[in-house]
Structure formats: structure tokens, C-alpha cells
Amino acid sequence: MKVDATEPILNVLYYGQLAGVFIGGLMFLFGIFMFLYAFKNPHKKRLAFVTTVFGPILVMFSIYAPVLAYHYMIDRLLPETELTQLKQFDSTVKYVGSSLYEGIKLIVYPLLVIVFLIAVVTLHHATRIPGRKRISYGIFIGVPVLFFLLQVGPSIVRLLTS
């Protein structure tokens, strides 16, 4: 007897999309901050450019590639044994994913406050050094953006991957 495995496979694809969006978003933010840090170093500028360009490409690829692959490549029903394995995997991934995100939030919130305070102190003491001022302004603006993304990130990802 064959059973339709549409829902468990789509749940597994959804969690793959979550990981890809997270990694691509981190690459993009890392590239933006590397542009502030690069100054005239061509190697750092190249790294910043590559991560800034390929981060959004990874986000778009992780959102749309699994759906297109499922639609065009998987057109069969799964046996009952594979379906139960997928259902067990789905509940495990849900638990691990939510606890991992909460753990990341618990670690990142205090780090964001510390980095913000360091940026304020550096901005106060770097009145004549343009490189330090640029980095401080970038961090000063970037920390609230990261805090906002941590708060709204799951709903944005749900909207993009639904």
C-alpha cells in the first residue's frame, strides 16, 4: 500500500529552507560589516563583496530550489516505513530547531548590548580617526538592526517560505 508523503516531505524542505535563509542572511550581514572594516585592503574588500553578493543568492536558492526540485523531480508515493521515518524526523527537527533558535537568542542578546556599548565608547574616543568612526557608526546602526531581525526573523522566514 502506498501513502502520500506530501506533508512530511514539505516539512523537511521547510526546515532546510530555514537553515539556508539563516546562513545566507548571516553571510549578507557579515559582508556589509566587512565593507566597513575593509578600509583599503583588497582581500577584505573582495571577501566583503563575495559574501554580500552570494548571501542573498543563497537565501533565494534555499527558498525556491527545494520547492522546484520537489515539484519537478519527486512525483511518487512513499511506502509506509519511509513515511513514519519522515514523521519522526519532522518532530525531532521542530524541537531541535526551536531550542537552537532560543539558545542563539540567549547568547546573542547580551553580546549585542556589549558590542553596542563598545561602539559608543569607541565613537566617543575616535574623534580624529575616520576608520574607527566609520566602524563605530556601522556598529551603532547595525546592532539595532540585528536586534530587530532576531525579533522578527521567524515571522519573515515563515512569510517567505510559506
Instruction: Work out the percent of the chain whose per-residue pLDDT is above 70.
Output: 72
Q: Mean per-residue pLDDT for 117-140?
A: 80
Rounded CA separation 9/83 (Å): 9
Give the model confidence (pLDDT) of 21-66 as tens digits: 888 888 888 888 888 777 788 888 888 889 989 988 988 888 888 7
What local confidence, expressed as pLDDT, does residue 7 receive? 63
What local confidence, expressed as pLDDT, does residue 3 receive? 44
Alpha-carbon Rg for the chain, nearest whole angstrom, is 21
Give the model confidence (pLDDT) of 64-83 as tens digits: 887 777 677 665 555 666 65
* Residue that wins the pLDDT comparison between 103 and 11: 103
- For residue 65, give the amino acid letter: A
* Burial grade of 140 (CB within 10 A; 0-12, 13-18, 19 or more): middle
Lowest mean pLDDT, pick from 78-82, 137-141, 157-161: 78-82
Please, what is the average pLDDT of the chain?
76
φ/ψ (deg, to 5) at 39: 50, -120
Q: What one-character DSSP code corresponds to residue 129?
A: -
What local confidence, expressed as pLDDT, does residue 1 receive? 37
